[in-house]
A and B are shown apart, each in its own frame.
Chain A
Amino acid sequence: MERRDFLKISAVSGATAALDACGKPERQLVRFIPETDLIPGIAVWRPSVCVMCPAGCGTTVRVMEGEAEVTRHGQLGLIKMGLAKKIEGNPDHPVNHGKLCPRGQSSLQVTYHPDRIRHPLKRVGARGAGEFQEVSWEAGIQELVTRLSAMDSAPAGQGLLIVARPVRGQRRVLLENFAKALGAPPPIFYQFYEDALLRRANALSFGHAQLPTFDLAHSNYVLCFGADFLGTWNSPVAQNVAYGEMRQGRPNVRGRLVQIEPRMSATGANADQWIAAPPGSEGLIALALAQVMLAENLRPASAAGQAGALIEGWATGLKDATPEKVERKTGVPAATLRRLARELAANPPAVVIIGDAPLAQSNGLFNALAVNALNALLGSVEQPGGLTFTPAPPGMAAAQGLPAQPTSAYASLRARLGLSKPAPPSPPQLLLLDGANPVYALPDAGVKEAIAKIPFIASFGNFVDETSVFADLILPDHTPLESWMDDVPESGSLEAVASLAPPTMKPLHHTRAMPDVLLEAAQKLGGSVSKSLPWTSYEEMLRSTYAPLQKEKGSIQASSTEEFWSAARKQGGWWSSEVVAPGQRPPTVGAAARAVQEAQFAGSAEEFPFFFLPYESQQFLDGALANLPWLQEMPEVLSTVMWGSWVEINPATASRLGIEQGDLVEVSSARGSVRAPALIFPGIAPDMVAMPAGQGHEQYTRYATGRGANPFKILASVVEPETGSLAWAATRVRIARVGKGKLALFGGSLREWPREFEKR
């Protein structure tokens, strides 16, 4: 072949190839100017903060150069940018010490979720139909400002309702100040599993309206009532880290764990001793243990101080709570109670934990106060190996978000929505949503209708869910990986912590950080609002609030504000170098002593023979995480179920009712019913059925929509009277087999171990 011919043929085939590419749109993408100075193939680690649950773990994010398909100025194209690849725990962070739970690690998928809202949206279809149209940021923010200023005519801004997922730090301060400046009631920070009741109990007993921090690494004996503290409760990573040390971290000392609960939780499965007790009896059992210690002179009654004074009969030795009397009421043998009391007293430091279902009873506050008194009697309050309270960094108490008088967000929200009596004086005119999803997670009937009645709804959320589908305007937030992040953890650390982190990557889509949008709206609103929020960006706000920490003794020594700021950004925050000093605050005195209260349940035992436990899911917490495929496919540890819901039934109960593993079961309360496949579960009382929360979404991305069942739907509105918290474990149900269901079990069995009884 001549050289000329060769060139001719090459040219033709080249052109054909080019034409061929034209037919495939993905090969036509333009390339934008790179938005990164990273070296290809070299990973850098950048700090961030986890917001998947309220624990407040510090993270470190692996960022590498990569190529992303993005839209810039309306044009689809490819861009080289820094991309987050993996999230691990920040090794220096005092809460999680370099560790991270499966949910925190999965937060990577929030940023890359295919159904994330990519730009501002305006509703075009009917309310709730989910039909939206793209609008510009300018138009979106202007619309919000117009609506907010139009609302001024309503009595003193009372018409504004802000509902956010629980957050702390300056994001919380910003939301609170924004509401205050507009004359609106404080924002409501709502998730289903809330902790207001325990904060109230700790305020009464110890003078701290705060969740406790447990120094388990130094405990020798831990007695836990119902709290899944190694799974989902309070600060699970911090508690896991400390638990490992408690078990095997000290030479020749191994701390013991005793768990008391009617359904074995993932934490209970680790216990040396697991004791089943009826729901709502926890406070009484705690008193029986205290009674034995008092009667046997293991400790003086006065050792319990204010916490003991809150319990009627404490000073005279709790005569009505003898082990024999408590055995008659709870079925827990008197000999067991005596033994536990003696073991507690004989193995200092010992600590008692209460959380989750025992607090979600009509007598939840009493249960918490009784356990607090037992802790005080043991001398475990604010002592090594006991329970303590994470201090706020100097000048940052507001960012820790602890009101003096903790009130239930459940009670506030249903009152504002007019779902409880009396109806609010001025119904909400404008709802601002920040990641909360009350239509899914607020169990009352009529939530959807109450939300749909609000004249204007704006959402900052990343996804269209059951609530934000009603929004008139969606101004999508960056994800945490794309945002300035900060937090002041309430618990989990023995030292004061103020986390801080710059964005780890550039925004993938056409989103904007909610705090920046709020600040811009405040400027546009002018007047008192712009005066109370004078910052032009969230970064500036963080800079000014963190600057005073430079003078405090802590993890950063810096000679200038600039040096401090750069060190804090690099380290992922500031933490005190001093471990909490015990007993800074005197307990509130003068609260009335309480008599033993028994739990009340909705539904009669004849018609509804089973207690119902809708427990917090290891995979999805209260359902906010059900959109993430890694968590959907992660087998829940005790059941190994993936991608679904289930109903846990005791083997004896199941065989009596003719229910087999995988049968579809209907669980009915006086309020309604849900259906899910049966899982024969050896660790649940015969008179109880349990369901994990989190599934049953009607609208929450392709991975969660229409999957499984939502147990919140059948809960009765039983509340704990003093705090108004929902007693979510106080509903009774009946069950019936209605057909065949399907369970996706990972079924982890070695073939050589045939005693696994489940069918695949």
Chain B
Amino acid sequence: MARQWGMVVDLDRCTGCEACVVACHAENNIATVGEDQAARGRAMHWMRVERYWEGNFPNVRVTYRPVFCQQCGDAPCESVCPTYASYHNPEGLNAQIYNRCIGTRYCGNACPYNVRFFNFYNPVWDKPLNLQLNPDVSVRSVGIMEKCTFCIQRIKVAEFRAQAEKRPLKDEEFNPACVQSCPPKAMVFGDLDDPTSEVSRLAQSNRSTRLLEEVGTLPNVIYLRSVS
């Protein structure tokens, strides 16, 4: 059954608490790189919360925006990959096949959202921190590009379960880690091709926008702008 996974992020609910940032690290075995590498821009945050400052004191305001892979319908990262490591999966995800990746970093350059991260070194977990690793997610080695997968391991588990129980998969029965953790419920995940899903309903909102829409990437992440 064809699906188009997508997400709606309500910026009017987002409080910048960063629960999603740590949830993503914990779920996806993202390595911490340490201060020196972080200072060189090599920290790997598949999920980040951006903040935009406007105005001068005392008339300042801030807008938060969680940014992660926009799972583009027409993804610049896919067309530039010489080894087809970045490819479009049948459910509309911009998937990354680590075994094909040879680390050209073309995809990272092509991505207008800066959401692809390169492993400059082999990841290190000081023992026994390695025990925190999620066995459902592969650990990426040096020379590999990595990115948000919409927690494809959770999608697969839910699909297998639905299949085993011989019933259709309902998109509310599971969530990516960031969506699960979000305290103000700013994020909603689901099938954009299903007109009855919560995510489709929210995507119809008159507040709905897409990030850098004008670039023509057709993102499947929809932001609902904050009201003010």
How far, in Å, is A59 (CB) from chain B's closest CB? 11
Question: Which residues on the A side are within 8 Å of B201 (C-beta)?
Answer: none
Q: Does B2 make an interface contact (CB < 8 A)?
A: no
Q: Does A96 make an interface contact (CB < 8 A)?
A: yes
0 or 1 for each of B2-32: is its CB under 8 Å from A? (1 = yes): 0000000010110111110111011100001
A746 with B45: CB separation less than 8 A: yes
A112 with B43: CB separation less than 8 A: no
Docked pose: A645 CA to B130 CA in angstroms: 27
A682 with B15: CB separation less than 8 A: no
Docked pose: A87 CA to B57 CA in angstroms: 40
B135 with A41: CB separation less than 8 A: yes
A230 with B61: CB separation less than 8 A: no
B15 with A240: CB separation less than 8 A: yes
Which of these, A87, A112, A634, A702, contacts B131 with CB under 8 Å? A112
User: Which residue on chain A has the smallest CB distance to residue B65?
Assistant: A748
A624-648 residues with Cβ-Cβ distance < 8 A to B are 629-635, 637-638, 640, 642-644
Q: How many residues of B contact A (CB 8 A)?
A: 63
B31-60 residues with Cβ-Cβ distance < 8 A to A are 32-35, 38-39, 41, 43, 45, 48-53, 55-58, 60
Question: Which residues on the A side are within 8 Å of B13 (C-beta)?
Answer: 243-244, 247-248
Which of these, B34, B38, B50, B127, contacts A748 with CB under 8 Å? B50
Closest 4 CB pairs of A and B: A244-B184, A240-B183, A269-B62, A643-B35
Docked pose: A243 CA to B215 CA in angstroms: 34
Question: Which residues on the B side are within 8 Å of A1 (C-beta)?
Answer: none
Q: Does A450 make an interface contact (CB < 8 A)?
A: no
B183 with A244: CB separation less than 8 A: yes
CB contact under 8 A between A105 and B23, given known A638-B62, A748-B48 = yes
Docked pose: A98 CA to B177 CA in angstroms: 12
User: Which residue on chain B has the smallest CB distance to residue A68?
Assistant: B131
CB contact under 8 A between A618 and B18, given known A244-B13, A744-B35, A751-B114 = yes
Q: Which one of A245, A275, A640 has the highest number of Cβ atoms from chain B below 10 Å of its Cβ?
A: A640
Question: Which residues on the A side are within 8 Å of B22 (C-beta)?
Answer: 102-103, 105-106, 630-631, 634
B15 with A114: CB separation less than 8 A: no
Q: Does A94 make an interface contact (CB < 8 A)?
A: no
Instruction: A114-B129, A630-B25, A750-B67 are known; give 16 further A-B pairs, CB within 8 A.
Output: A68-B131, A96-B183, A236-B183, A240-B15, A244-B185, A244-B186, A266-B15, A276-B58, A637-B16, A650-B57, A651-B57, A682-B53, A748-B50, A749-B50, A752-B212, A753-B52
Docked pose: A70 CA to B45 CA in angstroms: 31
Question: Which residues on the A side are within 8 Å of B133 (C-beta)?
Answer: 85
0 or 1 for each of A89-108: is its CB under 8 Å from B? (1 = yes): 10000001011111101101
B38 with A643: CB separation less than 8 A: yes
How far, in Å, is B69 (CB) from chain A's closest CB? 14
A748 with B67: CB separation less than 8 A: yes
B18 with A634: CB separation less than 8 A: yes
The stretch that binds B, out of A14-22, A162-170, A683-691, A731-739, is A683-691
Query: B interface vs A, CB < 8 Å?
Result: 10, 12-13, 15-19, 21-23, 25-27, 32-35, 38-39, 41, 43, 45, 48-53, 55-58, 60-62, 64, 67, 112-114, 126-135, 177, 180-186, 212, 215, 227-228
Q: Which one of A64, A68, A101, A244 has the highest number of Cβ atoms from chain B below 10 Å of its Cβ?
A: A244
How far, in Å, is B56 (CB) from chain A's closest CB? 7
The 15 sampled A-B contact pairs (Cβ below 8 Å) are: A69-B128, A85-B134, A86-B26, A88-B23, A102-B18, A103-B22, A243-B184, A248-B12, A269-B61, A270-B15, A643-B38, A651-B56, A683-B60, A744-B39, A750-B50
Which of these, B38, B128, B185, contacts A744 with CB under 8 Å? B38
B35 with A241: CB separation less than 8 A: no
A682 with B131: CB separation less than 8 A: no
CB contact under 8 A between A683 and B62, given known A64-B135, A702-B126 = yes
0 or 1 for each of A415-433: is its CB under 8 Å from B? (1 = yes): 0000000000000000000
A752 with B18: CB separation less than 8 A: no
0 or 1 for each of A250-293: is its CB under 8 Å from B? (1 = yes): 00001000000000101101101011100000000000000000
B19 with A101: CB separation less than 8 A: yes
Question: Which residues on the B side are within 8 Å of A86 (C-beta)?
Answer: 26-27, 134, 177
